[in-house]
Amino acid sequence: RKEVEQDPGPFNVPEGATVAFNCTYSNSASQSFFWYRQDCRKEPKLLMSVYSSGNEDGRFTAQLNRASQYISLLIRDSKLSDSATYLCVVNMYFGNEKLTFGTGTRLTIIP
């Protein structure tokens, strides 16, 4: 089993729709969780951190389910500019500075 696993997609979604991604992680002791966005041929950029209680930033909602070991990202009212690859990132081990990236989910918003 991969340490951090994502559905690679691609997800082709009409503008204005709601889309959700899940990401599973293998280590139940994982400490920190993030969603990153990567545009084509660019560096990944932090989209949002994922907190235990769930958190929202505008049209984006992130949730953590420790019991089932997954995190999710929900995008509402999707825009053309949301087209990108979304990377799930987990700090797997307490006291270890290593961040483990999923391979990413590719999203294309269709006009």
Partner 1 sequence: SQTIHQWPATLVQPVGSPLSLECTVEGTSNPNLYWYRQAAGRGLQLLFYSVGIGQISSEVPQNLSASRPQDRQFILSSKKLLLSDSGFYLCAWTAEMNTEAFFGQGTRLTVV
Six-digit token string for 102: 């999923």
If we measure between CA atoms, which residue out of 2, 3, 21 comes closest to residue 90? 3
What is the smallest separation between the CB atom of 29 and partner 1, expressed in angstroms? 12
Q: Which is nearer to partner 1, 70 or 101 (CB)?
A: 101
Q: Which is nearer to partner 1, 1 or 111 (CB)?
A: 1
What count of other Cβ atoms lies within 10 Å of the Cβ of residue 41? 5
What is the smallest separation between the CB atom of 91 and partner 1, expressed in angstroms? 5
Residues that bind partner 1 (CB under 8 A): 31-32, 34, 41-46, 49, 87, 89, 91, 95-104
What are the φ/ψ torsions at residue 69 (nearest 5 degrees)? 60, 55
Name every residue whose Cβ is closer than 8 Å to that of residue 57 and which is 6 or more positions away in sequence: 48
Q: Which is nearer to partner 1, 81 or 97 (CB)?
A: 97
What is the smallest separation between the CB atom of 81 and partner 1, expressed in angstroms? 20
